[in-house]
Structure 1
Amino acid sequence: MSKQRSPKIEDFAYDFLQSHYRAAYTATSIKVKQNVQTRADKQVDALFLFDTVDNSPFCAALVTASSSGLANLLTRYKKNGLSKWRFLTAFLALIGIGFLLKAIVHWAIAAGIAVAAALALFILHSVLEKKQLKGKISDLVDNVDSFPANEKWLGISISSLTFRNNDLARHLLQLCQQKGIGILTVGQRAKVVLMQEPKALHSRGENFIANYILPEEPEAKPQNGKKGPDSNLKVA
């Protein structure tokens, strides 16, 4: 019996975001471009391009490439917390320091110093390990934030339940909220969950689409001399 493939955010996010923008901006013609190169030589997984009601070009960027790495980090932390290496290093410090001091000072003093040192090392190891994990999260969020767009989305193939009572997931939500990044998840039930909406950037006179290298498309001939839909999506 073949193993069933786990749902991937890439299989659901495109339809979800198109429906989202049709409802939020009454966009009638949304172009979806996948694996688009920026002029800064980076690649975004998908762009959603359309004209708003005031005929302004709108660009939304979706990043899913970091989904696997993020899902592994959050799931592992949810299940296991920090690594067990902290206990090993603290134990080795306890034995080593106690052994070195027992010939110099009274055994009770040696034991007290060894316990204090082991505890301090355990706390230090925990703090540094958590800081390292949060640093990885920050790097992934900074990558999403580096793409120029009116709205930016991070897509993760993970159950939304993983975010409950998860300090690392809470850190991710806080960072994305600060940077105005939206978060979409999809779990085993193949249901897209909008964890957080993005903060839209509406910079006057700035066309974010111009930051990307889009493949040229044949222009449809307008009828009765009128402009066709998405006429403002051309790259300068």
Structure 2
Amino acid sequence: MAESRIGDQAIEFLGSYYAKHEKKSGLLVNRLVPTHQGTFADALFAYQKHDNCFFAISLNISASNKLARLLSTYKKKGLGRSRYFTAAFIFSAAAYLCYLTGSWLAVALIPAILAIAGFFLHSRLRKRYLQQQLKEAVDQLKQQPGDHQWLGIQVSSLCWRGNEMADYLSKLCERKGIGLLTVGKRSRLTLRQEPRLATCRRTDFLSYYTQGENLRRELSDQFMRVA
């Protein structure tokens, strides 16, 4: 249900976005467009430019639930409580072993040092794990190529604001040239990041999709009628 809502809003927004920025009112929009590799673009926009080249825009919303869950969990729990249990266990085990040695100096110093080191190591590994989960979700867009690529997420502004993982996701999308849209609980859509033009190694990005030839034909017919 959430994916359907963000999909409807994202498609409506992108239609207006390209009508304004590219002066295009005749975009072709298709949902669940298969690629030749067996993956699907949740939505694919296409139009023909005045130089007769074809322009494709892919939208991914299938990663929305996973990303929203990661961001929400981090916002509520941070890196989690398990790292405190790890530190407590290390402290207890080290204190017991040092006690067996009979060295009170070791009991006073070593357990605390090891517990602190364990706490920070656990925190670092947990943070790296969360970042890797975000990266894997964003990397899915490689399977839905386009001149512009967009990622849509259903997440509240409250969850997004002041969220270190949300900042990491924004920077990740910026680095990869991916546009980022979020839709909050009140159905307010926010443009977080605009996409950069991708480099195509084929004739055009429509060639990656099974419907590519049909889309070219339909766009050419539409272009000729307008001309």
- TM-score for the superposition, normalised by structure 1: 0.86
Higher helix share: 2
1:194 equivalenced with 2:187 (yes/no): no
Quote how far apart the aligned CAs of 1:42 are.
1.3
Q: 1:18-75, CA deviations, whole angstroms, 9 ceiling, x for partnerless residues?
A: 1111111111311111111111221111100111233321100000000000001011
The aligned residue for residue 36 of structure 1 is 33
The aligned residue for residue 164 of structure 1 is 161
Structure 1 residues 110, 204: closer, same or farther in 2, change over 3 A? closer
Of 39, 54, 58, 1:61 maps to 58
The aligned residue for residue 105 of structure 1 is 102
The aligned residue for residue 86 of structure 1 is 83
Of 120, 124, 128, 1:123 maps to 120
Counterpart-to-counterpart distance in 1, 2:149 and 2:37: 17
1:180 equivalenced with 2:180 (yes/no): no
Quote how far apart the aligned CAs of 1:220 are.
9.5
The aligned residue for residue 16 of structure 2 is 19
Indicate if the aligned counterparts of 1:181 and 1:199 stay in contact, CA closer than 8 A: yes
The aligned residue for residue 77 of structure 1 is 74
One-letter amino acid of the counterpart of residue 24, structure 1: H
SS in 2 for 1:229: helix
Counterpart-to-counterpart distance in 2, 1:220 and 1:138: 36
Q: 1:194-219, CA deviations, whole angstroms, 9 ceiling, x for partnerless residues?
A: 01100123659731101101188699
Indicate if the aligned counterparts of 1:145 and 1:152 stay in contact, CA closer than 8 A: no
Counterpart-to-counterpart distance in 2, 1:126 and 1:218: 49
- TM-score for the superposition, normalised by structure 2: 0.89
The aligned residue for residue 145 of structure 1 is 142
Unaligned regions of 5+ residues in structure 2, if any? none
Structure 1 residues 100, 29: closer, same or farther in 2, change over 3 A? same
Residue correspondences, number: 223
Q: 1:74-123, CA deviations, whole angstroms, 9 ceiling, x for partnerless residues?
A: 11111211010000011011111101210213234213101111111111
The aligned residue for residue 222 of structure 2 is 229
Structure 1 residues 215, 150: closer, same or farther in 2, change over 3 A? closer
Structure 1 residues 99, 124: closer, same or farther in 2, change over 3 A? same
Structure 1 residues 22, 41: closer, same or farther in 2, change over 3 A? same
The aligned residue for residue 224 of structure 1 is none
Unaligned regions of 5+ residues in structure 1, if any? 222-226, 232-236
Q: 49-58 or 183-192, which moves further after superposition?
A: 49-58
1:155 equivalenced with 2:152 (yes/no): yes
Structure 1 residues 109, 49: closer, same or farther in 2, change over 3 A? same
Indicate if the aligned counterparts of 1:7 and 1:190 stay in contact, CA closer than 8 A: no
> RMSD across aligned C-alpha pairs, in angstroms?
2.6
Counterpart-to-counterpart distance in 2, 1:219 and 1:111: 74
Indicate if the aligned counterparts of 1:145 and 1:181 stay in contact, CA closer than 8 A: no
The aligned residue for residue 234 of structure 1 is none
Structure 1 residues 54, 215: closer, same or farther in 2, change over 3 A? closer
SS in 1 for 2:56: strand
Indicate if the aligned counterparts of 1:63 and 1:155 stay in contact, CA closer than 8 A: yes
Quote how far apart the aligned CAs of 1:192 are.
1.0
Indicate if the aligned counterparts of 2:58 and 2:146 stay in contact, CA closer than 8 A: yes
One-letter amino acid of the counterpart of residue 229, structure 1: Q
